[in-house]
């Protein structure tokens, strides 16, 4: 249940309203006007709350439901206790998103620029923006409409940020062109120099980095993630990507559309990802790797060669997932001898 200190509760809703929002069918007759106070988990939902149940692998959990109402699938509806109001829908996960959004809202910063912010005269700030305390916006920055720039963020010279973007506390953006509807979380570092050095006369000499970071529309970059700008060519993050916390994306990487990179993934320079690539936590990529569209890489894998489109791989070095499981089974069997 959302804490009212942090979220606005939009008030009770009737079962009839909930069914409309969730695109659900009410199976329990005569309960259309029953009020629901909150959306909760199965474990925390009480007699005035609604929960969701769609776990086919843990059907016994349905017996724990103490909520007034539950949204589930037609397939699992018979498992819900008799005293619970039952609604069914085709996709409970989508309904969950819609209902939580209807019940709760984040507190929104009012438009305006904090007196402690430093905004260059040449910067262009769009309509209805919030610029928080101690924010630094340098020369020739362009920020679109309805943006939120939170406290202590730094937007370096020449950056362009689209409409409806949110830059979290203490994040820094440099050498970056960003699309619309992006969310850069707290402490992220976008556009720093890539890790490029050459040995000259026995010493590591820094290679100049003159590329940019290009971020598409509807991209989320997690807290304390780093995306380096390109050395010559740009580092590119495609539309709709979701990058978790503590991810490293090196210079010249090109990440396709709608990719998911889970926490502590590290991608060395000049890698190219297709669309809809999924990387589990702590995956590592050698430089100049190509990963085909739709590929999935299991957690803690080490990728040292190209991956075909649609492949599911795991291990270090990576092998097809079925081969990885055979290796594990072989080791477990033979280690007991």
Active site residues: 251
Residue owning tokens 């009012």: 110
d(CA 180, CA 190): 16
Residue 144 contacts residue 130 (beta carbons within 8 Å): no
Please tell me the distance from the alpha carbon of residue 123 to that of residue 9, in angstroms, as a whole number: 37
Q: What is the DSSP letter of 109?
A: P
**Contact predicate 231/251, CB 8 Å:** yes
Residue 220, judged by CB atoms within 10 A of its CB (0-12, 13-18, 19+), counts as middle
Q: How far apart are CA 171 and CA 165, in angstroms?
A: 13
Cα gap 144→124, rounded to integer Å: 8
d(Cα 70, Cα 213) in Å, to the nearest integer?
A: 45
Q: Is 62:81 a contact under the CB 8 Å cutoff?
A: yes
């Amino acid at each position: 249940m959302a804490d009212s200190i942090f979220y606005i509760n939009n008030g009770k809703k009737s079962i009839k309203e909930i069914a409309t929002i969730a695109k659900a069918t009410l199976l329990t007759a005569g309960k259309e006007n029953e009020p629901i106070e909150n959306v909760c988990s199965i474990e925390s939902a009480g007699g005035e709350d609604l929960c969701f149940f769609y776990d086919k692998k843990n059907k016994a959990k349905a017996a724990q439901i103490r909520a007034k109402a539950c949204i589930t699938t037609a397939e699992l509806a018979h498992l819900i206790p008799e005293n619970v109001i039952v609604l069914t829908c085709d996709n409970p996960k989508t309904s969950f998103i819609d209902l939580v959004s209807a019940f709760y809202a984040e507190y929104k910063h009012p438009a305006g620029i904090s007196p402690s912010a430093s905004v260059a005269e040449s910067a262009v700030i769009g309509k209805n923006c919030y610029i928080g305390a101690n924010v630094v916006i340098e020369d020739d920055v362009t920020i679109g409409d309805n943006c939120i720039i939170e406290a202590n963020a730094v937007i370096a010279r020449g950056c362009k940020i689209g409409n409806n973007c949110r830059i979290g506390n203490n994040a820094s953006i440099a050498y970056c062109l960003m699309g619309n509807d992006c969310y850069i979380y707290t402490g992220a570092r976008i556009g720093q120099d890539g890790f490029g050095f050459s040995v000259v006369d026995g010493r590591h000499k820094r290679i100049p980095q003159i590329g940019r970071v290009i971020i598409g529309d509807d991209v989320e970059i997690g807290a304390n993630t780093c995306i380096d700008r390109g050395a010559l060519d740009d580092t590119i993050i495609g539309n709709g990507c979701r990058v978790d916390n503590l991810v490293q994306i090196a210079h010249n990487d090109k990440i396709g559309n709608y990719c998911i990179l889970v926490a502590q993934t590290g991608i060395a320079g000049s890698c190219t990802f297709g669309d809809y690539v999924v990387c589990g936590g702590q995956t590592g990529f050698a430089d100049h790797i190509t990963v085909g569209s739709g590929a999935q890489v299991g957690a803690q894998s080490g990728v040292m060669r190209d991956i075909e489109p649609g492949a599911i791989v795991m291990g270090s070095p990576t092998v097809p997932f079925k081969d990885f499981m055979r290796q594990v089974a072989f080791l477990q069997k033979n280690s007991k001898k």
